[in-house]
Amino acid sequence: MALLFASFFICSSVMAQGTGTAIKGTVSDGKGVTLPGVTVTVKDSKVSAITNVDGQYNIVVPQGKTMLVFSFIGMEKKEVVIGSRTTINVSLSATSTTLSDVVVIGYGQQKRGDINGAISSVSAKEIQDIPQPSVDQLIQGKVSGVTITQNSGQPGANVSVHLRGITSFGSSEPLYVVDGVAIQGGASGVQLTRTGGGQEETSVSPLTSLNPNDIESIDVLKDASATAIYGSRGANGVIIITTKRGKSGAGRISYDGFYGIQQQGKFLDMMNLQQYANLENTLADDFGISRRLEFANTSVLGPGTDWQKAIFRNAAEQSHTVSFSGGKDGTDYYVSGGYLNQDGTILGYNFKRYNFRINLNAQVKDWFKLGGNVNGSQSTENIGLGNNTGIVYNALLSAPDAAVYNADGSFAGPAVTTGGLILGGPNAVQQALSLTNYLLRSNVQGSLYGNLNFTKDLSLHSEIDGNFDWSQAKTFQPTYSYGATGLPAAYTNQTARLSEYNAFDNYWSWVEHLNYNHTFGKHSITALAGHEVWESTYGGIQASNSGFTAGNTIQTLGLGTQSSDLVSEPKGSQVMESWIGRVIYTFDNKYSITASDRSDRSSNFYYGHQTGYFPGVAVSWRLSEEPFMAKIKSIADNIKIRVGYGTTGNSNIPGYTYGSAISPVSTGFGTGFIFYNYNNPNITWETAIQKNAGIDFSLFNGRISGSFDVYQKTSKDFLFQQPLPAFLAGGVAEYSGAAIIQPPYKNAGKIENNGFEFSINSHNIDSKDFKWNTTLVFSKYNNKVASLNGYPSLIGSVNSSFINLPVTNTVVGGPVGEFYGFKVQGIIKSTSQLQYLAAHPQNVTGTPSVVSSDRTLGNGVYLGDIQYQDTNHDGVVDTKDEVALGNPNPDFTYSITNYFSYKDFDLSIFLNGSYGGKILNALKFETEGLSGLYQNQLAAAANFWTPSNPNSNIPSPRGGLANNNLVMSDRFLESASFLRIQNVRLGYNLPQRWAKYAKLNHLKVYVSGQNLYVFTKYSGLDPEVGSFNQNPTLMNVDNGRYPIPRTIVFGVNAEF
Amino acid sequence: MKKNFKYIISMAALAGIVATGCKKDFFNRPPENASTVGTYYQTTAQVQASTNALYAAPWFGYNTKVSWAISEMMSGNGRSYSSDVVNFGNFSVSNGNFELSAAWNSLFTVIAQSNALLNNLPTAVPSSVPQNVVNNALGEARLMRATAYFYLVRLFGNVPLVENPTALASNFETVPTNPVTDVYKFIIRDLQFAETNCTANVASTGHVSSGSASALLAKVYLYMQDYTNARKQAEKVINSGEFGLLGVDVSGKSYEDLFKIANNNNRESIISLQWLANAGYGFGNGMQASLAYSSAITQTGDGYGVLAPTFDLQDAYKAAGDTIRRHACIMLPGEHYPELDQAAGGYTLPYNASSQGTHAQIKKYVCGSPADNNGASAFQSTGQNTYIMRYADVYLIEAEAVLGESANPGAGHGLDTNATTNDATALKYFNLVRQRAGLASMTSITFRDIIKERRLEFAVEGDYWYDLTRLDGYNSSTHPVAISIISKQNRGDSSNGNAPYYQDFVRYNEPTTPPTDAQFLFPVPATEAAADPNLIKAPVPYKF
């Protein structure tokens, strides 16, 4: 076919002459099947024709025109020089998104049409012009079977990526392979330092070092038959990222850039000053405390400070990438440099990245090919104050009677009584702006490979990969003193503190594999045998100092008081060695089988338990190639059925859990030693078994294409840290867990994920000027714990803001991280209810309630309090009445992308949604708790129950946290369903004839809007909550996380 | 040649694989920043240092806030509006309370670390380490375990007794609690072991000695109303001469000097926690952050004045004419402390200081800024030892034991409020404590006198609530006497005051809602009861 194609060019030396020439011909596909309905146009004219049922066309070419253009859905557009011919037969090849496209399958490539496993791909085109700094964020909604949740809207924050549900109690994040370099998706040794607050996200995304503009394609290996080749590292799926490389021909210079604005889309309706003052008065009466004099007449008060407006801002974002690429004489190159600067929509946050990439490939000899790539990046993350129970939380609870700034521009603070009682929390803006908290990360990753061809069929691939991370985390708490003008300072610090953590993480691997490819007759065989070894070493120096007498400006350890310095040095390493084998056999392009096996030996286990074997097998049958399908070939042009089975493993636990470590701690005696962990010498591989059946189809000449997969994924002997109760191992107290004995890691139980997923791509309209494509992606999984090896349940607890409550309970038969607690019966409104409660006391706080109108009585219940359901009907409400309240996992997730193009304009609208699932709005324990003075509350909370407001379902105020009304109950659960207008892009491609004046091959300008609107019933800031520090038992627990901003950018793609 | 060259390279590569593929050592990756059970405990010095950690980090969560929230706020010594601890002041602590969990978790962390040492040390230590060194370490660990259980049994009543956590780990959800009487028996067994095996006369190093165990035994027997043994143990300690009262047995010092970092591990110190100020959060004494009136005292940004003395406590000092101990325990407006903010010539509490509405602030465990303490003070962290027990306690135990022997209420019966003694021994030790406080000697004493004395001597040191809980007898389920005392306390706040020095404030004598009998013990934290439902069921006798 290529020869045929080339011959047209060779023959086209003579120009067409005269007034209009009649040309005819036949259009067919690569296999000679004629194509009806193909549009044939004369280039740069309005003349066009369409092929008839036999694929034939007739067209009259006006004088002076020299080219015909053939276009058809699912086929590459082809331009043909007419020359002197009058009959032009053309064959069109399928477009690159379909069968002939190459898919990276791990240690090799395969044509999409030949794939036996469940693999989805995303091309550069699908993710371009989306203003997201990180790759994992870009594939959200693009691939079926992948659930991606942004854990935070904070620039540079990590993302939860789950392929086909939650498979493990450890990290369920997939393995990323960037040009051969493996990057584990779980949080690495690199961490942000804590700044305060109870529960903070400290993990960072390992993928932020990569510039999305450098990406050529992303292949997602979903089922185990595909990932088994990665053995233990592929248990949670594998995402293979391939970066761009130079193409043969003239060199190209490209520029991609955008500039835009991000803003917070939603604000909570908190009380204004008048409402707040009314509430404070009511609470004071209720708690038996005198009212504040300044709130004597609330009607004269103004609106007060809106603390949300004070911490949120409109923030700029910009990104620029310049790349140079080309190829000649067997050598190709791609060189790029990028810059990204994203300010946070919350004060004090910023993310900045510089990076460069060099990709180089050279055919040195006909038997030897060499190549390599290097990616270098440096990023800086600034954090104002941690997010969970941090800055957003503080701002929401800040009293509206406190100002942000005093008249002289200094930070204001809450009022202080003459006695020294501070009537409010710290100034959130001061916290965000004065604290230095940043993470500087430098990363170099690269690989070098050589390919030796022994014979036409046999070759050896040798590769060395490296990924080197250096990071510097720094927190500086300056000296400060602030308060309202004329009042004593509310908050003062005379001793500045600095802590730094300089860490490194070095990873190298060495891979050797022999490849054999042979085709004879209808048989085709591809085989691979290989060996891989890698080592990961991490370490760092942690140091802190305080008392910086030289002031706040120069923040360096040496300037602190020398008697207060402190150092420690975390470090460790891990190695793995693997043997790999794979055979792919295909017969007659119809029947294919892939079989692979891998052995892994990991240093995370003790001798005798170190090696695991992970086989996989998959078969496919291309039904559409069978003779009996010939009749419907014109309708169903490709149908392929795939069935796969595979096992993968997981060794993703800390090192040396098979032994007991003794680690140093500081004491007044000097260094002391604590017992660090309970060991388990028998700890070994977690195994995931996955069965998959799928169908790929293409209908009506590619007008509709798609694939559908069903699967069952079972993890057994899964690795998890047995959550021992505190009475056996100690527990975190006052946020310190320094002396807890880490519970042992165990192989325990079984988790099942059953699900199905499909993606459908439809070319709805495909006329000359107007095109409309729709892509629908749908994923559904059911997550179920099949066994916990005798453990009754796993508890997930919220441990913050003075509440320490179990909120999730994972039991056999239920999903991971299921919410658990009491069910609200209703507000106690009548004396008959009180009489009932006097005879049937409820015990939700550990002490049976007593009916009493004294609201200071700790275990009292009275009118306006909550009555809980006696779910087991035993006449009392106690812990036995706690029941499963809801599943944080969605019923299904979906996305719809509509793509329109009209002449030089294109428009894409990408909607992303999630249906079902629950969120625990844990923030409401505080913002609707009505339990303490000097804290602002949701405006809706003012509508609490009183005898004169009998229809409210908000209980009356009750002093102190974790009271009868503030236990874990369905009161705090809300629907997590949402539909988000994730991205809308409008682009304009400058016509070629204009572009070439500027020496441009191509110029596109666009406007792209990200997260434009969210349709949801969720009352918090954002229904996409993710899992806290990637912990699956604390999924969808909203503690005041950083919400995802709305972003609008203007961008340019240009190529010279 | 070309072909051969290719094969040579590839064979070399394959040979390399085979050569590296097999080394066993490559897969041996022990921790690089920690020792292991197999490599530590090998020398005498290592065994001696093995108990260091039991005096600090595990106790942090208990020491920082909840210890005083329980002992002072529940007992009526202190009050607070602060929402994190307010529930302790009005007896409304629920099982989801963050601070309650801190108490449970921290005390069980002490037990877990003690058990780890007890279970690992004997098998890991080589014969080259002298047996008495090993035994001393084991004794220290058992004393620490007993101390933690002594708190737990007084806070929660029935609790699970844990000696071998790994054996219980596999079915932790069915571990029962053990009855209070068994917990006391367990404590006594541990302390007797410690008494036998710990080295004598070493308490001045900060490590507990055999005498420390004897002293704590005396206190435990006193709680059990076993007055004979309490007296025996107290006298054993007194006769040993290891300990002395600052300002009485140790001249040149005073009551106030007990609470200065420079005097850590003084002769009065029997058992104390050993904090390091500059080791970061979790390793220092965090009390000053909450107790100090303002950051002008701490100069490290903390000093929140969360706890303040009640009028009830202020009145108790006033009624006793006790100014020495009052000054060391409570700051009054306008009062001067030269040891605080030394750079400015000392600190004077502002006239309007009234962070919790009672026009007074806490002084005990407030030790000042980094500059005041040669650097041994930092944000939420000072180097001030926390007393678990000091020698004055032994004198008062001796006095009470003597009275108890003669009054003989019997274990489980309330202390007889009419019983009095004029026994010379009892009076001697009782009056030594009063003498240091500058108070007149008494000629006869009742239980009430002793409890009152204990309150003034140990206010803000974590004792008074426990004294109230034992007034109605060992392991009693009813607390009529304690309830009556609490219901008469003035725990209220007051107006601000306007006149110069703000002393024209008006007290609001808010009626105190006393606890119910059930509220003398805390509920098991909800997270723990969820993990092990047996914790909230009836206790099961412990198999000793």
ipTM for this prediction: 0.92
Q: Contacts of residue B108 in chain A, CB cutoff 8 Å?
A: 726-728, 730-731
Q: Does A549 touch chain B (CB under 8 A)?
A: no
What does the pLDDT look like over A582-632, one tens digit per residue? 999 999 888 999 999 999 998 889 988 999 999 999 999 988 888 888 888
Percent of chain A with pLDDT over 70: 91
Q: Which of B28, B93, B98 to mutate to test the interface with A (most CBs of A within 10 A)?
A: B98
pLDDT of residue A189: 46
- Could you tell me how far CA A30 lies from the centroid of its own chain? 40
Residue A397 structure tokens? 């609870």
Question: At A373, is the pLDDT very low, low, confident or very high (cuts 50, 70, 90)?
Answer: very high
What does the pLDDT look like over A179-220, one tens digit per residue? 888 876 443 444 545 444 334 555 666 777 788 888 888 888
Least confident of A470-474, B11-15, B22-26, B351-355: B11-15
Q: Given an 8 Å threshold on Cβ–Cβ distance, is B102 in contact with A733?
A: yes
The torsion defined by the Cα of B189, B191, B194 and B199, in degrees rounded to 10, comes to -150
Cα–Cα nearest to B72, from B287, B310, B294, B285: B310
pLDDT at B14 over 90: no
Cβ contacts of A338 within 8 Å, gap of 6 or more: A211, A213, A214, A319, A320, A321, A322, A353, A354, A355, A356
Question: Which of the listed ranges A857-861, B315-319, B409-413 does the model predict with the highest average pLDDT?
Answer: B315-319
Mean pLDDT estimate for chain A: 84
- Strand, coil or helix: A90: strand
Q: Is B419 exposed, middle or buried (0-12, 13-18, 19+ CB in 10 A)?
A: middle
The mean pLDDT of A135-152, rounded to a whole number, is 76
What does the pLDDT look like over A227-243, one tens digit per residue? 888 887 777 888 888 88
Amino acid present at A263? Q
pLDDT at B22 over 60: no
Can you state the angle between helices B180-197 and B210-223, rounded to 10 degrees?
160
The mean pLDDT of B385-389, rounded to a whole number, is 97
Q: Given an 8 Å threshold on Cβ–Cβ distance, is B99 in contact with A727?
A: no
pLDDT of residue A972: 93
Q: Contacts of residue A728 in chain B, CB cutoff 8 Å?
A: 108, 112, 162, 165, 168-169, 172, 175
Cα–Cα nearest to A134, from A260, A263, A234, A241: A241
pLDDT at B251 over 50: yes
Q: Given an 8 Å threshold on Cβ–Cβ distance, is A960 in contact with B87?
A: yes
Cβ contacts of A535 within 8 Å, gap of 6 or more: A507, A508, A509, A573, A574, A575
- Could you tell me how far CA A676 lies from the centroid of its own chain? 32
CA distance A259 to chain B (A): 41
What does the pLDDT look like over A739-767, one tens digit per residue? 999 999 888 888 898 999 999 999 999 88
Least confident of A117-126, A501-510, A1009-1018: A117-126
Of B108, B207, B283, the CB nearest to A665: B283
In angstroms, rounded to a whole number, what is the distance separating the alpha carbons of residues B143 and B113? 12
pLDDT of residue A899: 92
Least confident of A159-163, A344-348, B445-449, B528-532: A159-163
3-state helix/strand/coil string of B479-542: CHHHHHHHHCCCCCCECCCCCHHHCCCCECCCCCCCCCHHHHCCCCCHHHHHHCHHHHCCCCCC
Phi, psi of B245 (to 5 degrees): -85, 125
The mean pLDDT of A999-1004, rounded to a whole number, is 84
Q: Given an 8 Å threshold on Cβ–Cβ distance, is A419 in contact with B36?
A: no
A1035, A1026 Cβ separation under 8 angstroms: yes
Of B28, B172, B355, the CB nearest to A725: B172
Q: Does B275 touch chain A (CB under 8 A)?
A: yes
B137, B117 Cβ separation under 8 angstroms: yes
Of A531, A744, A792, the CB nearest to B17: A531
Cβ contacts of A884 within 8 Å, gap of 6 or more: A809, A811, A814, A818, A819, A820
pLDDT of residue A110: 79
What does the pLDDT look like over B290-319, one tens digit per residue? 999 988 899 888 888 999 999 999 999 999
Q: Does B189 touch chain A (CB under 8 A)?
A: no
Percent of chain B with pLDDT over 70: 96
**DSSP notation for B233-248:** HHHHHHHH-----BTT
Question: At A423, is the pLDDT very low, low, confident or very high (cuts 50, 70, 90)?
Answer: confident
Can you state the angle between helices B131-156 and B180-197, rounded to 10 degrees?
160
Question: Which of the listed ranges A69-73, A643-647, B427-431 does the model predict with the highest average pLDDT?
Answer: B427-431
What global pTM score does this model have? 0.83
pLDDT of residue A688: 86
Question: At A17, is the pLDDT very low, low, confident or very high (cuts 50, 70, 90)?
Answer: very low
Q: Is A582 exposed, middle or buried (0-12, 13-18, 19+ CB in 10 A)?
A: buried
- B116 to chain A: nearest residue by CA? A675
pLDDT at B8 over 80: no
Question: At A95, is the pLDDT very low, low, confident or very high (cuts 50, 70, 90)?
Answer: low
Cβ contacts of A939 within 8 Å, gap of 6 or more: A269, A270, A271, A272, A275
A706 vs A962, more confident:
A706
pLDDT at B60 over 50: yes
Question: At A853, is the pLDDT very low, low, confident or very high (cuts 50, 70, 90)?
Answer: confident
B9 vs B212, more confident:
B212
The mean pLDDT of A327-344, rounded to a whole number, is 90
Q: Given an 8 Å threshold on Cβ–Cβ distance, is A572 in contact with B29?
A: yes
Mean pLDDT estimate for chain B: 91
Q: Does B90 touch chain A (CB under 8 A)?
A: yes
The mean pLDDT of A800-817, rounded to a whole number, is 83
pLDDT at B198 over 70: yes
Phi, psi of B466 (to 5 degrees): -70, -35
Q: Which of A545, A667, A842, A861 to mutate to test the interface with B (most CBs of B within 10 A)?
A: A667
Radius of gyration of chain B (CA): 27
pLDDT of residue A15: 38
**First-last CA distance in chain B:** 83
CA distance B463 to chain A (A): 21
A475, A195 Cβ separation under 8 angstroms: yes
pLDDT of residue A11: 35
pLDDT at A858 over 70: no
Question: At A288, is the pLDDT very low, low, confident or very high (cuts 50, 70, 90)?
Answer: low
B285, B63 Cβ separation under 8 angstroms: yes
pLDDT of residue A99: 52
Least confident of A286-290, A572-576, A812-816, B361-365: A286-290
Q: What pairing do the DSSP bridges indicate for beta strands A90-92 and A21-29?
A: parallel
pLDDT of residue B480: 95
In angstroms, rounded to a whole number, what is the distance separating the alpha carbons of residues B274 and B268? 15
- Strand, coil or helix: A943: helix
pLDDT of residue B3: 55
3-state helix/strand/coil string of A279-336: HHHHHHHHHCCCCCHHHCCHHHCCCCCCHHHHHECCEEEEEEEEEEEEEECCEEEEEE
Distances (CA, A) of B425 to B249, B268, B420, B431: 17, 20, 14, 10
pLDDT of residue A626: 86
A772, A899 Cβ separation under 8 angstroms: yes
pLDDT of residue B7: 65
Can you state the angle between helices B391-407 and B447-458, rounded to 10 degrees?
170
Give strand pairing partners of A92.
A29
Task: Residue A283: count other Cβ atoms within 10 Å of its Cβ.
Answer: 21
- A793 to chain B: nearest residue by CA? B531
The mean pLDDT of B472-488, rounded to a whole number, is 94
Question: At A271, is the pLDDT very low, low, confident or very high (cuts 50, 70, 90)?
Answer: very high
Rounded (to 5) percent helix, strand, coil in chain B:
50, 5, 40
pLDDT of residue B1: 47
pLDDT of residue A729: 93
pLDDT of residue A196: 41
Q: Given an 8 Å threshold on Cβ–Cβ distance, is B97 in contact with A962?
A: yes
pLDDT of residue A1014: 93
Least confident of A668-677, B308-317, B496-505: B496-505
In angstroms, rounded to a whole number, what is the distance separating the alpha carbons of residues B316 and B327? 13
